[in-house]
């Protein structure tokens, strides 16, 4: 068996004749669970509490009940804009990323000994700092940047990739897919390596054509990896921040403003930590709902038989 990406959890066995290790376990768990509690559990709950306050960076917080949420849902059109932008980004980014990753990893798989090298090449932008990646894309996409110079060779007057409200979001999506697709290529590549060549050979002998083999054999066998990629890619897409922050500053207008960028600005530019926390909880609820929805469909969509 080869490495299959997995979101499944093993259960630890209970060795026979062993009684509790309460004190010892407490010792080993102390650093990890204390940190988990202080830096994850407490902030998560605190975030909910802060969202009920009018909370400036400096000065006294004032309890306002659900005002921040009411304002978010009914009094702040920007919230709906950034939510819409984030959803649009998430859908386009996830679909493009997965389709491209599936195509590329299948292609790389067919290249035999050349495959692993290119798989790693496509993985490079995943690992290099997003800030450096975003800055070079900003340079390439400026009005007189290399992309438009290249287009000019063919007599095409290149558009303003980052400051045209029709194109800016597309540019962000393109940059993000370039940055992230290598992750899924690696996961799907591992999944493809796990499919027995005998199975494909048997399908071929039974008369299945290339497309049929892909859709009827490869895709179902790959479904655990695809499920994993989909969950991870969607979660990642809702957190998009660095790309709009550095490429477009959320503009032009609000056309590329996203939930996390808006959260950051409310917290640290507009001095509204309470409202920013309400946005954080909106993000949290959305991500959890989508993830839960995916897991509830897991049995129907994913084939775990080997």
Partner 1 sequence: MTTETMAKGAAPNASALKRQPPARRRKMRPGTYVSRLAIILAGLVFFFPFLWMVATSLKPTSEVFSTGASFLASRIEWSNYVAAWTAIPFAQVIANSFLVSIAGAALTTVVSLLSAYAFARLQFKHRDKLFLVFLGTLVLPQEVLVIPLYIMMNKLELINSLPALIVPFAFGAFGAFLIRQFLLSLPVEFEEAARIDGAGSIRILWSVILPLVRAPLAVVAVFSFIDYWSSFLWPLIVINDVSQATIPLGLSMFSGERGTDWGPLMAAATVAVIPSLLVVILLQRQLVKGVSMGGFGGR
**Interactions with partner 1, residue window 41-100 (CB under 8 A):** 42-44, 46-47, 50
- Which residues in the 180-209 window bind partner 1 by CB under 8 A? 183, 186-187, 190, 193, 197
**Which stretch, 86-94, 117-125, 159-167, 203-211, contacts partner 1 (CB under 8 A)?**
117-125
Query: Closest Cα to residue 133, out of 5, 245, 257, 291?
Result: 245
- Which of 63, 107 has the CB closer to partner 1? 107
Residue 77 Cβ vs partner 1, minimum distance, rounded to whole Å: 22
Window 209-238: contact mask with partner 1 (x via CB under 8 A)? ---------------x---x--xx--xx-x
Q: Which of 70, 73, 139, 301 binds partner 1 (CB under 8 A)?
A: 139
In the complex, the smallest distance separating the C-beta of residue 206 from partner 1, rounded to whole angstroms, is: 20
DSSP code of residue 12: P
CB closer to partner 1, 19 vs 65 = 19
> In angstroms, what is the minimal distance from the CB of 250 to partner 1?
14
Among 70, 73, 136, 202, binds partner 1 (CB under 8 A): 136
CB of 47 to partner 1, least distance (A): 5
Residue 47 CB partners (closer than 8 Å, separation 6+): 277, 280, 281, 284
Residues of this chain, 144-173, that bind partner 1 according to CB under 8 A:
144-146, 149-150, 152-153
H or E element in which residue 269 lies = none
Backbone torsion region of residue 6, taken as left when φ is above 0, otherwise alpha when ψ lies between -120 and 50, otherwise beta? beta
Q: Give the footprint of partner 1 on residues 259-298 (CB under 8 A).
A: 260, 263-264, 267-268, 273, 276-277, 280-281, 283-284, 287-288, 291-292, 295-296, 298
Length of the chain in residues, anyone? 306
Please tell me the distance from the alpha carbon of residue 124 to that of residue 40, in angstroms, as a whole number.
30
Choice from 73, 124, 156, 301 touching partner 1 (CB under 8 A): 124
Task: Report how far residue 200's alpha carbon sits from residue 210's, in angstroms, rounded to the nearest whole number.
Answer: 10
Rounded Cα distance between 277 and 272, Å, is 9
Task: Note every long-range contact of 60-65, with CB atoms under 8 Å and residues 24 or more positions apart, other chains counting.
Answer: 61/274, 64/274
Nearest residue to 238 (alpha-carbon basis) of 101, 129, 125, 89: 89
């Amino acid at each position: 068996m080869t490495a299959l990406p997995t979101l499944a959890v093993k259960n630890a066995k209970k060795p026979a004749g062993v009684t509790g290790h309460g004190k010892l376990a407490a010792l080993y768990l102390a650093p990890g669970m204390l940190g988990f509690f202080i830096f994850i559990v407490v902030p998560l709950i605190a975030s909910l509490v802060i969202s009920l306050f009018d909370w400036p960076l400096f000065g006294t917080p004032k309890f306002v009940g659900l005002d921040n949420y009411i304002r978010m849902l009914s009094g702040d059109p920007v919230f709906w804009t950034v939510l819409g932008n984030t959803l649009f980004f998430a859908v386009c980014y996830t679909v493009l990323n997965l389709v491209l990753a599936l195509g590329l990893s299948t292609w790389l798989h067919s290249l035999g000994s050349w495959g692993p090298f290119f798989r790693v090449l496509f993985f490079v932008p995943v690992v290099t700092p997003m800030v450096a990646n975003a800055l070079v894309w900003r340079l390439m996409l400026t009005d007189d940047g290399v992309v438009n110079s290249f287009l000019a060779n063919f007599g095409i007057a290149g558009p303003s990739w980052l400051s045209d409200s029709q194109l800016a979001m597309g540019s962000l999506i393109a940059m993000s897919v370039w940055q992230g697709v290598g992750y899924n290529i690696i996961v799907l590549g591992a999944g493809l390596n796990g499919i027995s060549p005998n199975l494909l050979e048997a399908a071929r002998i039974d008369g299945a054509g290339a497309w049929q083999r892909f859709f009827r054999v490869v895709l179902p066998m790959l479904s655990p990896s695809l499920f994993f990629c989909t969950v991870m890619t969607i979660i990642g897409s809702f957190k998009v921040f660095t790309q709009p922050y550095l490429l477009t500053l959320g503009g032009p207008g609000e056309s590329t403003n996203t939930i996390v960028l808006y959260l950051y600005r409310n917290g640290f530019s507009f001095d509204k930590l309470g409202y920013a926390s309400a946005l954080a909880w909106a993000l949290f609820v959305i991500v959890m709902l989508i993830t839960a929805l995916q897991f509830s469909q897991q049995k129907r969509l994913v084939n775990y038989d080997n």
